[in-house]
């Protein structure tokens, strides 16, 4: 099976990358999310990053709503392009889709005082997916394809707090999925899909445009790291840290950072689903 591992679109799937993908004749697309653009990125890091202040409190709901609608129009354009390959597509969410707090307890952070706006916090991703029958969401779920089991993680961007209730709750969810497919996992037929890289694995932020407080730090997920160390699937697929496209091992598990699609990056994985072995990994860039 030839798998296209891709993600971090940020509203774009460039034609240059589309042409490269078409030449590969892939059998399956595995996406790690981040479909929408982020029109208010500068405003977010100026007003909201590491504070409880919401962008819409500063610039107003009207401007925020216009930007959000445009972001999701761009996301749907990306999804439409993916569907044009006419192969199965499985996806988890990224942080740009808006995600739950699966690795920390909000009431114990600065976010506990954040104001709420129901329209802004709705599940835009679920609404978009209703328009695309070939894209199946697998976060905290699984999907069987040609003898392989794909288990989905989620989209949070911070390392997480291992003693929090939510960390333990969602680790339990993933543990149950891996235990359900313990036999297949031993056969090398379970693949873990997530957005953020595992902690201390291709997760160091070096981008000069990153916020000063994050630059040089490891921002991978401790939840994903624990799951991989404990269950050792043959393959883990993630992204989020754009500058670190590549592969690395955590014990017996091969971890892949797909690279950012909007930067013309993706990964082709040639996988022998009968033997449960990775035959070849090719990085598109």
CA angle, 103 then 267 then 134, to 5°: 75
- Please name the CATH architecture into which domain 2-284 falls: 4-Layer Sandwich (3.60)
- Distance (Å, whole) CA 36 – CA 159: 23
- What is the reported pLDDT for 11? 98
Predicted confidence at residue 98, as pLDDT, reads 84
- pLDDT tens, position by position, for the chain (285 residues)? 999 999 999 999 999 999 999 999 999 999 999 999 999 999 999 999 989 999 999 999 999 999 999 999 999 999 999 999 999 999 999 999 988 889 999 999 999 999 999 999 999 999 999 999 999 999 999 999 999 999 999 878 889 999 999 999 999 999 999 999 999 999 999 999 999 999 999 999 998 888 777 888 899 999 999 999 999 999 999 999 999 999 999 999 999 999 999 999 999 999 999 999 999 999 999
Measured distance CA(223)–CA(139) in Å, rounded? 14
**DSSP calls for 160-205:** --TTSHHHHHHHHHHHHHHHHTHHHHHTT-EEEEEEEPBTTSS-B-
CA-based torsion, 158, 161, 164, 168: positive or negative: positive
Q: Shortest CA distance to 137 belongs to which of 154, 122, 156, 120?
A: 154
Q: Which of 102, 191, 209, 111 is nearest to 144 (CA)?
A: 191
| Domain-wise residue ranges, the chain | 2-284
What is the distance in angstroms between the CA of the first residue and the CA of the last residue of the chain? 21
pTM of the complete model: 0.96
Given the structure tokens 């996988």, which residue do they identify?
A: 271
Q: Report how far residue 191's alpha carbon sits from residue 49's, in angstroms, rounded to the nearest whole number.
A: 33
Other beta carbons within 10 angstroms of residue 230's beta carbon come to: 12
């Amino acid at each position: 099976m030839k798998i296209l591992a891709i993600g971090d679109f940020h509203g774009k799937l460039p034609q240059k990358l589309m042409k490269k993908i078409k030449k590969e004749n892939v059998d399956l697309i595995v996406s790690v999310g981040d479909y929408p653009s982020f029109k208010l990125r500068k405003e977010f890091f100026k007003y909201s990053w590491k504070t409880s202040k919401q962008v819409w409190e500063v610039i107003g709901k009207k401007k925020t709503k216009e930007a959000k609608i445009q972001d999701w129009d761009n996301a749907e354009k990306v999804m439409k392009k993916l569907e044009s390959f006419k192969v199965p597509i499985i996806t988890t969410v990224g942080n740009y889709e808006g995600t739950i707090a699966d690795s920390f307890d909000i009431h114990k952070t600065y976010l506990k005082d954040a104001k709420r706006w129901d329209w802004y916090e709705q599940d835009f991703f679920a609404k978009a997916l209703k328009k695309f029958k070939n894209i199946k969401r697998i976060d905290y779920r699984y999907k069987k394809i040609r003898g392989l089991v794909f288990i989905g993680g989620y989209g949070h961007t911070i390392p997480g707090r291992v003693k929090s209730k939510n960390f333990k709750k969602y680790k339990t969810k993933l543990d149950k999925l891996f235990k359900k497919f313990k036999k297949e996992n031993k056969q090398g037929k379970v693949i873990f899909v997530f957005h953020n890289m595992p902690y201390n694995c291709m997760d160091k932020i070096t981008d000069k445009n990153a916020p000063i407080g994050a630059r040089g730090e490891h921002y991978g997920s401790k939840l994903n790291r624990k799951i991989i160390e404990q269950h050792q699937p043959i393959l883990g697929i993630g992204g989020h840290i754009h500058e670190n496209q590549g592969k690395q091992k955590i014990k017996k598990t091969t971890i892949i950072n797909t690279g950012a699609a909007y930067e013309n990056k993706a990964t082709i994985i040639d996988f022998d689903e009968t033997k449960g072995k990775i035959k070849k990994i090719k990085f598109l860039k």
